[in-house]
Amino acid sequence: MNLKISFLKSKYILTIVFLSTVLNANETNHIETIYLGSGCFWGAEKGYESLNGVIDAESGYANGYGVKPNYRSIIQFKNKYNENNFAEVVKVTFNSNAISLEDILKHFFETHDPTQLNRQGNDVGTQYRSTILYVNESQKKLSEAIIDDYQNLLTDNNYGKIKTKLESLDNFYLAENYHQDYLKKNPNGYCPDLSTGIVFDNKEKSLLDNSFLLTGKQILILDAQSYCPYCEKLKENVTDSYKGSIPLTYRTSDQLHGLKINSPTWATPSIIFLENGLEVFAYQGYIEPKEFYKLLGRFKLGNSEAYNVAFNKGTDARFCKEYEIFKNTPNGVFLDKLSGEPLFDTDDRFVSRSGWLSFTKPVSGSVYELPDNSYGMKRIEIRSVSSGIHLGHVFNDGPNGMPRYCINATVLEFKARKDLS
């Protein structure tokens, strides 16, 4: 009896081991690799890594001859138009059970301009050529079919011939370590968005209404059509919390109809300041919150007393017109003039007869303090947490032993309590 049970247990265990081995082998058989070049490999690498099913994306140099496989060599002027130069490519390793090669190739074509020969945007030279390097015949045949499909879509939209070079992989060398995960290592920058805007899911897009962007001052953020880490970082750190009075809108490069944009639209994110539909100035790339608000201050405040107060630690004239307006407002909240964040409440306002707005306290967490020893005085400066602008000073001579926050009215806006959402 014991021998029979022991035999059955052994058989059961062997069956499990066998099935496990088969399943693991099956998973391994679905690990595939393809090599894709679409200009600079920094942004392309990050784009592939964002796809579910992609296991790894590594930057490198492929199919070069007579040139050393390193960055210093391939960027030499003598190799700029050398047909034997290495191409900057991304080695994409993926699980075909989770993502198909077809989807990867569609992403490849949708995220660059394959009609450009040996360049992508401002990156010019054979190292930036559009190329698909296959490792087997099935990859070649699928690539040919995808190229034909995309060419038809491009032709229908008045684009030229695809210049993507389709060939078998002959050699590949990993790029230097500083090129790997470049966008992670360099968090402040931009992603080159050089796509044509033509996608395989060719559903007719309804034209977005840009009419409101043609009136007054507007902030336009140029977003990527595919994944861009700098765009996501700008949203998280700056624009998602923006509450200012100048409207902020996101668009992609193919959604700018009716607007007069002078700056290149291939870098994302780009911050474009518009007035009546015309670009006033722009900034390319990710920007920290305080630098964003300095640009916004330049746009909104111009060469004014408010700008001088906000960014040069100036001081309003006593009893200035903004003070006279704000000293007797109905109940409500005073806001940061740039970010729109609440700073002070009328419940904490009092008349100090100093000629500047006075409060006993700020809205919790809205300001921070810095020592100020300018002009031979020891004072405590008050700045806005959200935008970093100078607001005024705090003194210890308020009513009933409370502080007196002495605040410049020109850097504030007001919203009545009944209008607060």
Indicate the DSSP class of residue 319.
Answer: T
Asked if 406 is an active-site residue, the reply is yes
Residues 6+ apart with CB under 8 A from 5: none
Torsion sign over Cα 344, 346, 351, 356: positive
Spatial contact of 119 and 128, defined as CB atoms under 8 Å apart = yes
Asked if 40 is an active-site residue, the reply is yes
The first and second tokens of residue 277, run together, are 């539909």
- Rounded alpha-carbon distances, angstroms, from residue 270 to 147, 246, 258, 319: 31, 17, 18, 40
Cis peptide before 269 (omega within 30 of 0): yes
Between CA 54 and CA 137 the distance in angstroms is 21
Among residues 40, 191, 228, 231, the one annotated as catalytic is: 40
Torsion sign over Cα 316, 321, 325, 328: positive
- Rounded alpha-carbon distances, angstroms, from residue 116 to 37, 271, 281, 378: 13, 26, 28, 62
Residues 6+ apart with CB under 8 A from 58: 45, 90, 91, 93, 174, 175, 180
- Rounded alpha-carbon distances, angstroms, from residue 310 to 182, 184, 244, 349: 36, 33, 15, 21
The number of CA neighbours under 13 Å toward the Cβ of 274 is 29
- The Cβ of residue 261 has, within 10 Å, a number of other Cβ atoms equal to 18
Between CA 298 and CA 389 the distance in angstroms is 12
Residue 21: exposed, middle, or buried by beta-carbon count in 10 A (0-12, 13-18, 19+)? exposed
Please measure the distance between the N-terminal and C-terminal CA atoms of the chain and give it in whole angstroms.
79
The catalytic residue positions are: 40, 406
